[in-house]
Amino acid sequence: MKLTKKELTTKYTVFCLLIVLGALLQNVRGLWFQIGEARCFFLVPLTVLLGIDEDERTAAAMGLLAGLLWDTVSAQHMGYNAIFLMIACFVSSAFVTYLLRGTYWVGVVFSVLFSFLYVLVYWLLFVVTKGSTGAVSSFGWFYIPCFIYTAVMAFVLNLFLVPLKRKLNKEPKEEK
């Protein structure tokens, strides 16, 4: 079903508000709880899940927005989050558009995959290349717990995002 201009505006406004909320929960200390030192990187699964059923350009734009919001509060790696999230959203949307169906589990798998790639690439580019002592141990005590926390949240986020996206896309409810 083709959405009207007003419905599309409402849909993308809600998506942008969710991205801003995710950025606030992730980046403002005290708004969301930490488990030990592990933080949840909300923006990775959120943008991937929102972009799954969109066309590639729209998904990439959502990833770029989320990454820019994240980069505004990061001191060390300006541009990394914007580029990573834009590519992640583009790739996941392209896979769903051309090869896969946008199901719950496809969204979770892509979210978990890109969450792991995010922490791995970040650790390699910004921790290991500095050559500091303890770079290897930081992967085990900080980056892996952050990945696990983010992966678990991907399951939970997708539980709420699937019905919201169906409602915004005016899709009929599935009968059991």
pLDDT tens figures, 137-164: 888 889 999 999 999 999 999 999 999 9
Q: Can you say whether residue 118 is alpha, beta or left, with left for phi > 0 and alpha for psi between -120 and 50 degrees?
A: alpha
User: Is pLDDT of 75 > 90?
Assistant: no
pLDDT tens figures, 98-117: 999 988 999 999 999 999 99
For the chain, report the end-to-end CA distance as a whole number of angstroms: 21
- Contact by Cβ (8 Å): 37, 142: yes
Tokens describing residue 40: 């949840």
Q: Which range, 8-17, 75-84, 138-147, has the best average confidence (pLDDT)?
A: 8-17
Average pLDDT on 52-76 reads 93
The predicted model scores a pTM of 0.90
Question: DSSP state, 103?
Answer: -
Residues 21-37 as b/e (b if ≥16 CB within 10 A, e otherwise) read ebbeebbeeeeeeeeee
- Contact by Cβ (8 Å): 75, 145: no
How far apart, in whole angstroms, are the C-alpha atoms of residue 46 and residue 43?
5
